[in-house]
Every structure is written in structure tokens, then in C-alpha cells.
Amino acid sequence: MAQRIVQTDVELVALAQAGVEQAYVELCDRYRGMAFFVINRILKNREDAEDALQETLLKVYLHLGGFDGRAKFSTWLTRIAINAALMSLRKRVAHPMQSLDELQADDTPRFIEPVCPLPDPERSLAERQRYVHLKQAIRHLPRTLRGVTELRQSDDLTISEVAAMAGLSLSATKSRLLRARIELSTILCQPGSGRVRMDARGQ
């Protein structure tokens, strides 16, 4: 039986930056547990930690093109995980007893952030491809999640404005955006995620 060749982080990062989706999946699988452990130690709440983990993996996907290798990949990912956990903790401390309806729209950060253009043409192409993959993933969300996600991302609307346009309550809108973020992270961590296929939910 042929032995499976274990690639180093450096090799996987280079492949992922070149647009090889399976390399990103491998990196996710390799460090998901470590990232969750770090986040959960800060938040001490499994549900919040799961949410922050999905935020971390999505940010890693979007910003991977900017990783320059000066630090180890695991160190870079850990910093993103810690920042995601601290952001969650700050929101919790700022609004300890408030319901979702009582939160201001701007208190919930967007989960899609702009990435600075890179001078390397190959990396720039890979970055654009990742955004294309993300847009494809959004198009294949269930209708109930896709509409609010597209409004939030494409039209630069606040959550309150998205809620008004969608005819939903603020809490329902935030709930759908959270579910969409989790689904997108799951989709993008799957093998072949760069070629999102149509399914019944996206039709």
C-alpha cells in the first residue's frame, strides 16, 4: 500500500495561494482543533467559540493571499483566531443583557472584508478566484439566507436596512446572516469548493 505523502504547511500554503482548494481544506483540517481550543479558552462558551471559529476560517480563506510566510502559518492563524475571540468577547461585554433586537445594526461586523490588492500577479489572480468562489457559494445558499447575504454584501447596507428591505425583524435578519456565515464557511472548507455545484437549495 502506497504511503500518503504529508505536505508541510509551507507547501500547502503555496498551493492554496495558487488556487488549489484542496490545500486550503487540508490546512483547515490540520488546525481547526487547535483554533477552537484557543478560542474556547478565551470565550469559555462552546456556541460562541464555534461561531468565532467559523469567522476565523472564513478570514483565513479570504486573506490567505496576503500571508507572506514571515511567521509560521499556525502562528498567523492563531492570531486571527484570538482576534475573532476577542471581538466576540468585546461584543458580549458591551451588551451583556441585551437581546438581538436591542443591538444596534453596526454592532455586528460584516463577515466579508475587503482584501488589499497584491502586487504579485499570480497571487492577485488567486485572490480574485477566491472571491469568485465565495460569490458562487453565496449564490448556492438556501433562498432564505441568500437574499439577506447578497443585500448585506453587495449593496453595502446596514443590518437594519437589510431587515427593512427583506421585510424581516432585526433579530431574524441577524439570525439568517449568522446561519449564512456558518454555511459559507462549511462550503468553503469542503473539497472542490472552488467549483460549487448546483443543488436543490440553490435552484
Residue 106 has a CB neighbour count (10 Å cut-off) of: 10
- Give this prediction's pTM: 0.53
Which pLDDT belongs to residue 92?
72
Q: Residue 32 and residue 121: Cα distance in Å, rounded?
A: 30
Q: What tens digit of pLDDT does each residue of 129-181 get?
A: 777 777 788 888 888 888 888 777 765 567 787 787 777 888 888 888 888 88
Q: What tens digit of pLDDT does each residue of 87-141 get?
A: 888 877 665 544 333 333 444 444 444 444 445 566 666 667 777 777 788 888 8
| 163's grid cell | 431587515
Cβ proximity of 175 and 163 under 8 Å: no
Average pLDDT, the chain: 75
21 alpha-carbon distance from chain centroid: 15
User: Is CATH 3.30.360.10 correct for 9-197?
Assistant: no
